[in-house]
Amino acid sequence: MDALITVLPGDGIGPEVTKSGVRVLQRIAEAFGHHFDFSTQLIGGAAIDACNHPLPADTIASCHESDAVLLGAVGGPKWSDPNAPMRPEQGLLGIRAELGVFANLRPVRVIDELAKASPLKAELLTGVDLMVVRELTGGIYFGEKKRDTDSASDLCIYHTFEVERIVRVAARIARERKRKLCSVDKANVLETSRLWRDVATRIVSQEFPDVALEHMLVDAAAMHLLARPREFDVIVTENMFGDILTDEASMLAGSLGMLPSASLGESKRGLYEPIHGSAPDIAGRNIANPCGTIASVALLLRHSLGLEAEAALVETALLQVISNGARTADIARGNDPVLSTSAMTAKVVEQIR
């Protein structure tokens, strides 16, 4: 098949990990006789430097013309002056909104061999396989922001339709899994959460009677994720809770560098990015973990290009390489030899036959 993929390297380690993702896509194209065209565009701090805007019009246009978008990360100390008129993160939030990708899928699967890389007890981790469905284009991230001399506010607003559509996505995913859906909110305090809870209850009971719905307060969810992570199947939650809970959940998988994400809307076009940030402290040193990006590439093949066999092959290759002992610095322990970003990528590429 022919496909056009926009690549948005962004800042920090973004260019290094997206390069790994592109190498894997090229290998897949070669192995299966596909033709992938790549259009690399600016976003974030790199775009502010080059054209004084975190999300240039050319970037938006290229994304709209593409079948899928692969993004690295944005942000860094260079652009984090709180008084700066523009921030790199506006580029990321802007492209999510622009593409209407309201459903952010963040699968968390523990690879047995990595359980000991986690700061948590290995016996709690084997068999963990959960999916966080994070609402991505609403809530406190996108509400009106105000700043006065002595006060500031961020509006958190959710509309019924936004909750309905994200709950539907999560319930459909639950149906393909263990049919357990946990909706996470703060309904004891927040009005938006009370709306969220009502809508989730209605949608699941009317449209997904075969899915077991449980409601959980976000503070309790944060605790249960560490205490009994195996019991979760699908979690659905609002934008900010999903952001926080998935950084927490990444520790189950051994490292923030392992987790991929797929952001989807009404069409097949999706935005794919590792859940980690730009990690400016290790940028440009070829030591970042490319696994989250490579796993995101698998999600891209599956969800935007409909190439299930290719997606599964990338996931198997990644698993195989890790099982064989390949480790980047973040997941190495004791005497494990440490691989660079490019060496880890090469191992995965070699494994794809």
Q: Is 178 a catalytic residue?
A: no
- Residue 219 among the catalytic residues: yes
Q: Which does 182 bind (CB under 5 to 8 A by kind): Mg ion, ligand IPM, none?
A: none
Partner interacting with residue 75 (select from Mg ion, ligand IPM, none; CB below 5-8 Å by kind): ligand IPM
- The burial of 264, by beta-carbon neighbours within 10 Å (0-12 exposed, 13-18 middle, 19 or more buried), is given as buried
Residues 349 and 13: their CA atoms lie apart, in Å, by: 20
Residue 273 within binding range of Mg ion, rule CB under 5 A: no
State which of residues 243, 273, 315, 330 lies at the interface with Mg ion (CB under 5 A): 243
Choosing from 11, 141, 185, 347, the catalytic residue is 141
Smallest distance, ligand IPM to C-beta of residue 113, A: 26
In 19-87, DSSP assigns E strands to 35-40, 68-73
Residue type, 242: G
Residue among 15 and 75 whose Cβ is closer to ligand IPM: 75
- Which CB, 183 or 239, lies closer to Mg ion? 239
Does the protein bind Mg ion through residue 238 (CB under 5 A)? no
- Is 141 annotated as catalytic? yes
Q: Which of 243, 272, 330, 347 is catalytic?
A: 243
Name the closest residue to Mg ion (Cβ): 243
Total Cβ atoms within 10 A of residue 207? 14
| Residue 154 beta carbon to ligand IPM: minimum distance, rounded to whole angstroms | 13
Residue of 37, 112, 210, 219 with catalytic role:
219
- Residue (199 or 279) nearer to ligand IPM, CB: 279
Return residues touching ligand IPM (CB under 6 A).
75, 89, 92, 243, 275, 277
Could you say which of ligand IPM, Mg ion, none residue 92 binds, taking C-beta under 5 to 8 angstroms by partner kind? ligand IPM
Q: Which two tokens stand for residue 320?
A: 């195989």
Tokens of 52: 């004084």
Least gap, CB of 272 to ligand IPM (angstroms): 12
Residue closer to Mg ion by CB (options 15, 75) is: 75
CB of 136 to Mg ion, least distance (A): 11
Q: Which residues contact 147 (CB under 8 A, 6 or more apart)?
A: none
Whether 247 is a known active-site residue: answer yes
β-pair partners for 271: 69, 263
- Residue 119 has phi, psi (to 5 degrees) of -70, -5
- Residue among 89 and 113 whose Cβ is closer to ligand IPM: 89
**197 with 187: CB under 8 angstroms?**
yes
Minimal distance in Å, beta carbon 242 to ligand IPM? 8
Residues 193, 158: Cα–Cα separation, whole Å? 9
Cβ density class 308-344: b for 16+ within 10 Å, e for less: eebbebbbebbbebbeeebbbbbbbeeeeeebbbeeb
**Rounded to the nearest 5°, which phi and psi values hold at 217?**
-75, 145
Q: Among all residues, which ones are annotated catalytic? A: 141, 186, 219, 243, 247
